């Protein structure tokens, strides 16, 4: 299974924000949309960074309530690891495990075309395993 297959059922919508957005607005967006991360885009929609609930918690711990008036551009992770539609589920699992993060934006020709979360990875990995089990069962029962 690869990212293109996942995006076909999951869809390509990604929640984004500009670097000048305040951390308070970011917190509200994360809460309202019930998501764990927002991709920060610069001019031309290019990926400029990513902000996750972990960054928000860390910023509050370090700066106190003032963290909420900071712009997301000051707090976000700038060095974003991305994947493309050809990336496999196994590669994504390795990327997330090694990088210790749970979100990977999908970029094609410099354009943001989707976002894979660890929830998607688990969901599609389980579906893959169920297919394998069924194939093994029918192989064993049909001889």
Least distance to ligand AMP, CB of residue 96, Å: 8
Given a contact cutoff of 8 angstroms between Cβ atoms, the answer to whether 3 and 95 are in contact is: no
Rule CB under 6 A: say whether 14 interacts with ligand AMP: no
Rule CB under 6 A: say whether 101 interacts with ligand AMP: yes
Least distance to ligand AMP, CB of residue 138, Å: 38
Rule CB under 6 A: say whether 55 interacts with ligand AMP: yes
CB proximity list for 55: less than 8 A, separation 6 or greater:
75, 76, 77
**Which residue is associated with the tokens 């885009």?**
41
Share of the chain residues as helix, strand and coil, in percent rounded to the nearest 5: 55, 20, 20
Closer by beta carbon to ligand AMP, 80 or else 127: 80
- Contacts with ligand AMP by CB under 6 A lie at 36-37, 50, 52-55, 77, 79-81, 99, 101-104
């Amino acid at each position: 299974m690869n990212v293109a297959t996942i995006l076909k059922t999951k869809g390509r919508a990604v929640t984004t924000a500009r670097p000048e957005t305040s951390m308070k607005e970011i917190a509200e967006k994360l809460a309202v949309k019930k998501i764990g991360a927002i991709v920060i885009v610069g001019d031309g929609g290019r990926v400029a960074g990513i902000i996750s609930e972990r960054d928000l918690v860390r910023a509050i711990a370090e700066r106190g309530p003032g963290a909420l008036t900071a712009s997301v551009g000051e707090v976000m992770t700038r060095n974003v690891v991305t994947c493309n539609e050809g990336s496999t589920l196994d590669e994504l699992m390795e990327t997330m495990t090694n990088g210790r993060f749970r979100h990977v934006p999908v970029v094609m020709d410099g354009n943001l075309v989707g976002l894979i979360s660890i929830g998607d990875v688990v969901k599609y990995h389980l579906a893959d395993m169920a297919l394998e089990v069924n194939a093994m069962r029918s192989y064993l029962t049909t001889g």
